[in-house]
Amino acid sequence: MTKVGEHITLDIIGTTKEYDPSIFEKVINEIAKVANVKILNISKYKFEPQGFTILALLAESHISFHTFPEKGIISFDFFTCGNVSPSVALDIIKKEFKHKRIVKKEFNRDTKSLYHDIYSSPGLQKSYVVNEVLEDFKSKVGQHIEILDLEQFGKSLFIDNEIQVATSDEHLYSSTFVNAGLKLNKDKENAAIIGGGDGGVARECISKGFSFIDWYELDPEVVDACNKHLGSIVDRSTEKNSVKCIWGDAFESIKSVEDDKYDKIFVDLNDDQFCIDLAAKNMDSLIRILKPNGVITAQVGSQDKKPEQVEKWLDVFNKNFGNTTLDRVYIPSFDCSWNFSSSINH
């Protein structure tokens, strides 16, 4: 990581009057003195009928004010690569401008980036610290694929802005997934994997000794990206003699599969309503290719973050099989526990 500088923004809320422009220049000079930065030039502009902007160009970057009298807000911005933190401006601004409250945002400017977790809890924004972006593209089937090197979790796959796996803890996800099915019966001649483009479930099935594995995956570009960057997860699964990759729409492909073929079916689709509806619509086809007393297991999401979604998955399984068990494991990179539902085809 290379540090570039420090940045602070202040939104001064509840200002009750429009200050004379000279006040802002006075305050900028006071801040520059305390922060030990050199002013090179000051530019200012007064808007009609109201509002004012002033920008001080510094040898170390900039200081600016912009006023919104109609909203009772003054916005302040200070970025410096100097040795004194820009937060020294806060006490000066509190003294000079009457206000109800100040919204402060501080952050270091450096060569790392932040990637927002779209499933942060309400009122709490969580971000991943990204050391490097290794892949960032849209696949031919329309998925936004990213491979990011995360500071805490290592190389990780994101699809459509949601983390799928991280090298640091993927084994927790895939091993719990496969073991959930094996707990209900030990048969492992033939397995089908629906989805699971990162390859972790395929690797686990190989390690558990399944004789034959049919891997139905929509997007070969996901698998290619994971083979390239997440080798420890995929572990060259696509090259194993026991694994057959069938590319394209899984539910179209299984229409040509004979009845009662698989001991286990692992459904590793995205955990959204579209995929719940897709699985429910095609459940008769999955039951047809599953052996009597065979087991179907699906990742169904997090009860911590999306409890209604987990319940909808369970409803699908109970409606079609009359039974379901739920396995659960905490995944640190997800910052929550994850659930896997299994049913026996009686």
Which residues are part of the catalytic machinery? 61, 66, 81
Whole-angstrom CA distances from 167 to 69, 101, 185 are 51, 43, 29
How distant, in Å, are the alpha carbons of 80, 108, 113, 296 from that of 7? 7, 6, 14, 52
For residues 128 and 122, what is the distance between their CA atoms, to the nearest angstrom? 17
Amino acid at 272: D
Where do the DSSP E strands lie in the chain?
A: 3-13, 39-46, 52-58, 61-68, 73-80, 101-110, 113-116, 127-138, 144-150, 154-159, 162-166, 190-195, 212-217, 243-247, 262-268, 290-301, 325-331, 336-344
